[in-house]
Structure 1
Amino acid sequence: MPDLKNSFYTLLVAGTVFAGPGTGVVLAADTDLAPAGRGAAIEGSGPDDEATLARGEYIATAADCIACHTSKGGKPFAGGLKVGTPMGDVISTNITPDPEHGIGKYTEQQFDQAVRHGVRDDGSYLYPVMPYVSYAGMTDQDVTALYAWFRHRVKPVAESPPATSLSFPASMRSSMAVWNMFATKETPGQGDSATYNKLKRGEYLANALEHCGTCHTPRNFMLDEKHDRYLAGGPLSGWYAPNITSSVSSGIGNWSEADIIVYLKTGRAQNHAQAAGPMGEAVEHSTSRLTDPDLEALAAWIKQVPAMDDDLEHKPRDSFGQAVNAPDIRTKVPSRIDDLSEMTGPHIFDANCAACHGRNGSGTDDHYAPSLFANSVIGTTRPDNLIMVVLNGVNRTAGKDHAGMPGFGADSQVQRLSDSEIASLVNYVMGTFGSGDPHVTAEKVASFRNK
C-alpha cells in the first residue's frame, strides 16, 4: 500500500479494523449525524411495528453500530470514540434519538442518506471510515427498520462529544465528493433480505451488514477496495486482517463451515485461531449474536469465496509448530539471571507467558489460554497481530464464554515490557512455536505501540 500519510485519503481506513481469524479488532467512524431541525419520526405502535423494531435491533447488531458509536465506559450510541489519524482524531458522534445532541430530528430519508450514501442532513459528506460504501447494499426495508429502532428503542443521551477537527485538506469534507465518484459501493439489496436463500443471505451479511471487505480486502492507491482481491487480507491500524478466502495455503481453505461458525459465535476455533482486539469486539457485539441460520449462511458464503494466494503465506497459518520439550529455565540451561536487562526471549517468555500457555506452549486443558502452536497468530509470517496482542491483551466475551489475557503495553495492569523485550518475546514465540523468527526490532514494536 502506498504511503498516503499526508493525504486525506488516510482517513478512509484509519481506525477501521475488522480483523479476521487470529486477529483482533474496533471500527471507528465519524458519522457526524448532527440534527438539522427537520423531519419527523415513524409513527405507530401496532404489532407490525413491534416486528419492525425487533428487526431493526437485529440489523443494528449485525452492522455492529455500537462498536463505533460508544466510547470506552460511555453510554450506548452516544459517540465520543476517538480514532487517531495522522491528521487528528476522528470522533464518532451521538446517534441516539436526542433531538438536540443526536439524530432525533432526522427524517427517514435523511437517515438513509447518511447510512447508505455518506451524506449527513446538512448536505456535508461523511468520512468513509463510516462504512457507507458497504451499507449502501442494505435493503430499503432494513434501513426503515433500523431507523425505527434508533428512534423508538435507543435511549436518548443529551451529550455532545467533541467535534472532529482535522488538519487541511482532510478538514474539507467536500473533498470526499471526489472519492465517492471513484469508490465502488455495494448495490442496494432488493426485496426482503430475510427471505433470501442461504448463499444470497450470506453474501448480504458479509458485504452489506458485517462489511467484511472493509478490512479483509486490500486497497488500491485511492484506498478503494481491490475487488479482484476480495478478502485477500491487508494491514489496518496496527493489525493485519488476514486472507480469509478459500485458499488452503494462504487463507482459511482448511477450515470447515463448522469451524467458521464456531469462530464467529465464540471468538475461538480450536487448532485454528482466536479473536482479539477489534475482531474480538466484533464477535462480542455482533457475530456472536447472529442467529444460527445467519451464521450458517455467512460461513457458507465465506467458504465459497474464490481462493486468493498470498506472496508471503505458502502454508496454512495454523499448521505450524508442536509442543516443545523446553528446559525448566529456573534450574536448567539457559540459567537463571539476576540482571533483568540481560533477559532474552526464553527468560521473558518464562516470566510472563509460561504460567498460562505452558513452557511447552500447549496452553491450558480447557483452551482458555490457547496453544501457541497450531495457532494462526503464531504461524503467520507477519508478526503484526502477535505484537498487538502482547501490547494490548485480550478481553472478549461471547455469551457466557470469556477470554482474557493481560496486555504488556503502556497501560498494562501487570508488568510493562519495553519495546526491546516485546521484540525478543515475539521473535522467540514465533521462532519456537510458529513460522520462524520474524526478526522484529524494538523500533518496529515502538511503531505499533501508539497505533
Structure 2
Amino acid sequence: MRLKLRYLLIAGLFSSAAQAANQSDAALIAQGEYLARAGDCTACHTVAGGKDFGGGLAIASPMGVIYSTNISPDPKAGIGEYTEQEFADAVRKGVRRDGKNLYPAMPYPDYRGVTDADIHALYVYFMKGVQPVAEKAPETSLMFPFSQRWGMWFWNKAFAEDKPFTPLPTAPEELNRGKYLVETLGHCGSCHTPRGIGMQEKALNESNSHYLAGGELNGWPVPALRGMPTWSVKDITDYLATGRNDFASVGGEMTGVVEHSMQHMNDADLQAIARYLKSLPADVPVKNRRAAVDQETQKTADFLTQGHNLNAGQMLYMNNCEACHWTDGNGAKGIFPRLNGGDIVTADNPTGLINIILQGAQTPSTPKAPSAMAMPGFSGRLSDEQVAQLATFVRSGWSNDAPRVSAKEVKKVRESLSADKK
C-alpha cells in the first residue's frame, strides 16, 4: 500500500511538473507570437495565399530578386534544426546555420538589439507554435559579384553594429519601451532612414540626425518620423492601430505593416512608440502659419465651388476626387485622407501620389476600424497627360506648393506597374 502511494505521489509530481512546463511553453509561445507580430515577420516570410512563414516572397533589389527564406520549424526546408544560438545569430547578425551570410533585405542590422529574453520567446514560438512547411523557398541568385555571400562580411564590418540595445538613462520606462520597439523589432529605420552609398541605413539609432529622417523606398517617398510635429500621440497611435487618422490613410508598404503587425500590438506599446517618436527632435520645425494656410485653402475651395474657368487639372479633380476629398482638400476625418498638406502629396518625388491615382488604395480592416475604405484606381480611365494634370493641381492647390508632374513621369510609373503584374 505504501509503495502504491509512493508511486502515485511520484506520478502526481511528474504530472504537475509537466503541466507547469506546458503552461510555461504556452506563455512563451504567446509572447513569441506577439514579438513576431511586432517584428512584422509575416510580411516578408509569408506569400499571399501561402502557408505561414513558408518564405518565397520575391523582394526586388538593385542587385536582383531576393527570395525570403522558409522560417517554419521544418527540419529540411525551414529552420527546424537551428539551435537557439544559431537562431539568434541569424536574427541579430545575419548569419545562417551553415555559416553563410544573409542579405540585409533581412533587417538584422536593426534586430541586433533584440534582447536575449525576446530571442528566447521568438525561438520557442517558431519551434513549437508554428506549423512546419515542407516546401523549400526559391533560391536567391543575384548577379555577380553580389552572388558571393562572403562579400557580406565586409558590408557587415562597414555598416552593421553588434551592440545591445541602449536605453536612455534618465527616460521613463514607457519612452524606453517605445525606443526599443522602434529601434529593434519594429525596424522602423529600415524604411524611414535614408540609405547611403552601400544601400545601408545611414543611422541605426537616434545618436545620428539621419535616423528616421525619411527617404525613398521602391520609388515612393517615405516621410520623416522625427518629432512628427503636426501629429499628436493619439494621431500616431490611431494611424498605427487602424491605418488611418484625421490626416492620412496608409498606402504602399505601410499598408502591410498595419495589416500584419501594428494592428495586433497592444495599446500600451503603440502609445510607447508614439511618445518616443514625439520625443525626437524634428529636423525642420513647423512654423506657425495657420492663418496663411487657412486663407490659401479657402481661396482654392471658393474657386472650385464657383466652377468658372477651371483648368484641366481642377476639372479632373472636381469630376473624380471632390466627392471624397472635398473642395477644401481636407477630406473626411478618419475616413478619407486630406490632400491639403498631405506628406505623400507634397513630397519632392511625386511617384507615390501617381501610384495611388493609377492603382488606387485600400486601408486594412482592423479591430478598431473594421471597415476597409477603398479608393478606386484611375489607370483605365485617365491618360498619362490627365493624371499629370490632376496630380499637378493637387500638389499646388490649397496650401500645397510642390512641383508640377509631367506625363513622362506618369508613363514611367504606369509601365512599372504593368511590369509588376507580369
- TM-score per shorter chain, which class? 0.7 to 0.9
| CA shift for structure 1 position 186 | 6.2
Instruction: Name the structure 2 match of 1:405.
Output: 375
- CA distance in 1 between partners of 2:354 and 2:288 (Å): 21
Pick closer, same or farther for the CA change 1:133–1:353 going to 2, 3 Å: same
Residue from 145, 162, 176 that aligns with 1:200: 176
- 1:348 partner amino acid: L
Q: Which residue of 2 aligns with 1:27?
A: none
The 5-angstrom pairing of residues 124-139 of structure 1 reads 124-139=100-115
Indicate the residue corresponding to 1:15 in structure 2. Answer: none
Which residue in 2 is equivalent to 1:300?
275
Q: Helix, strand or coil: the match of 1:90?
A: strand
Q: Deviations over 1:86-121 (max 9, x none)?
A: 332212122112222222222212211111110111
1:245 aligns with 2:243: no
Aligned residue type for 2:276 = W
Whether the 8 Å CA contact 1:380–1:434 is kept in 2: the answer is no
Q: Distance in 2 between matches of 1:370 and 1:137?
A: 35
User: Does the alignment pair 1:373 with 2:343?
Assistant: no
In 2: Cα distance, 1:416 partner to 1:400 partner: 34
Q: 1:357 maps to what in 2?
A: 325
Distance 1:424 1:161, change over 3 A: farther
Match of 1:219 in 2: 195
Match in the other structure for 2:216: 235
Determine if contact 1:238/1:448 at 8 Å carries over to the other structure. Answer: no
- Mapped contact 1:326–1:360 kept (Cα < 8 A): no
User: Could you tell me which residue of structure 2 aligns to residue 288 of structure 1?
Assistant: 263
Partner of 1:8: none
Letter in 2 for 1:235: E
CA contact (8 A) 1:124 1:174 kept: yes
> In structure 2, what is the equivalent of residue 309 of structure 1?
284
Q: Secondary structure at the match of 1:89?
A: strand
| In structure 2, distance between residues paired with 1:407 and 1:48 | 49
Q: Using the alignment, how far apart are the partners of 1:277 and 1:152 within structure 2? A: 33
AA in 1 matched with 2:248: A
Q: What corresponds to 2:408 in structure 1?
A: 443
Q: Aligned partners of 1:111 and 1:132: how far apart in 2?
A: 12
1:148 Cα deviation from its structure 2 partner: 1.0
Residue 185 (structure 1) shift: 2.7
Aligned to 2:7: none
Cα drift, residue 45 of structure 1:
4.6
Paired position in structure 2 for 1:423: 388
Q: Is the 8 A contact 2:345 2:394 kept in 1?
A: yes
Map residues 307-346 of structure 1 onto 2, 5 A cutoff: 307-309=282-284, 322=297, 324-327=301-304, 333-334=309-310, 344-346=312-314
Count how many residue pairs are aligned between Structure 1 and Structure 2. Answer: 380
- How far residue 434 of structure 1 moved from its aligned partner, in angstroms, is 4.5
The alignment's TM-score, normalised by the length of structure 2, stands at: 0.81
Is 1:217–1:225's contact at 8 Å kept on the other side of the alignment?
Answer: yes
- Bigger drift between 66-75 and 174-183 goes to 66-75
Secondary structure, aligned partner of 1:322 = helix
Contact 1:281 1:396 in 2 (8 A): no
Superimposed CA distance per residue, residues 167-224 of structure 1 (whole angstroms, 9 cap, x where no aligned partner): 1111111111110001133622489xxxx92121111101001011112112332333
In the alignment, residue 325 of structure 1 is paired with which amino acid?
Answer: D
Identity of matched residues, %: 42
> Does the 8 A contact of 2:340 with 2:400 survive in 1?
no
Larger helix fraction of residues? 2
Structure 2 residue 360 is matched with structure 1 residue 385: no
Q: Give the aligned residue type for 1:403.
A: M
CA distance in 1, matches of 2:389, 2:52: 40
Q: Is 2:26 aligned against 1:61?
A: no
Q: CA RMSD in A?
A: 2.8
Say which SS state the counterpart of residue 221 (structure 2) adopts: strand
Q: For residues 286-345 of structure 1, give each alpha carbon's deviation from its aligned partner in whole angstroms, at most 9, with x where no partner exists.
A: 1222111111211121111122239xx98899x68636135579x86449xxxxxxxx32
Q: Distance in 2 between matches of 1:198 and 1:259?
A: 18
Equivalent-residue separation in structure 1 for 2:156 and 2:82 (angstroms): 23
What is the SS of the residue equivalent to 1:426? Answer: helix
Contact persistence 1:378–1:433 (CA under 8 A): no
Unaligned stretches of 5+ residues in structure 1? 1-43, 247-251, 336-343, 410-414
The structure whose RCO (Cα within 8 Å, separation 6+) is larger is 1
Instruction: Compute the TM-score of the two structures, normalised by the length of structure 1.
Output: 0.76
Q: 1:257 to 1:147 in 2, by over 3 A?
A: same
Amino acid at match of 1:142: D
Shift of 1:383: 2.5
Q: Distance in 2 between matches of 1:261 and 1:55?
A: 21
Residue 258 of structure 1 is matched in structure 2 by 234
1:145 partner SS: helix
SS state of the match for residue 397, structure 2?
Answer: helix
Aligned partners of 1:139 and 1:190 also within 8 Å: no
Gaps of 5+ in 2: 1-19, 418-422
One-letter amino acid matched to 2:109: V
Q: Which amino acid aligns with 1:218?
A: P
Deviation at 1:135, TM superposition (A): 0.7
Computing the radius of gyration over CA atoms, which structure comes out larger, 1 or 2? 2
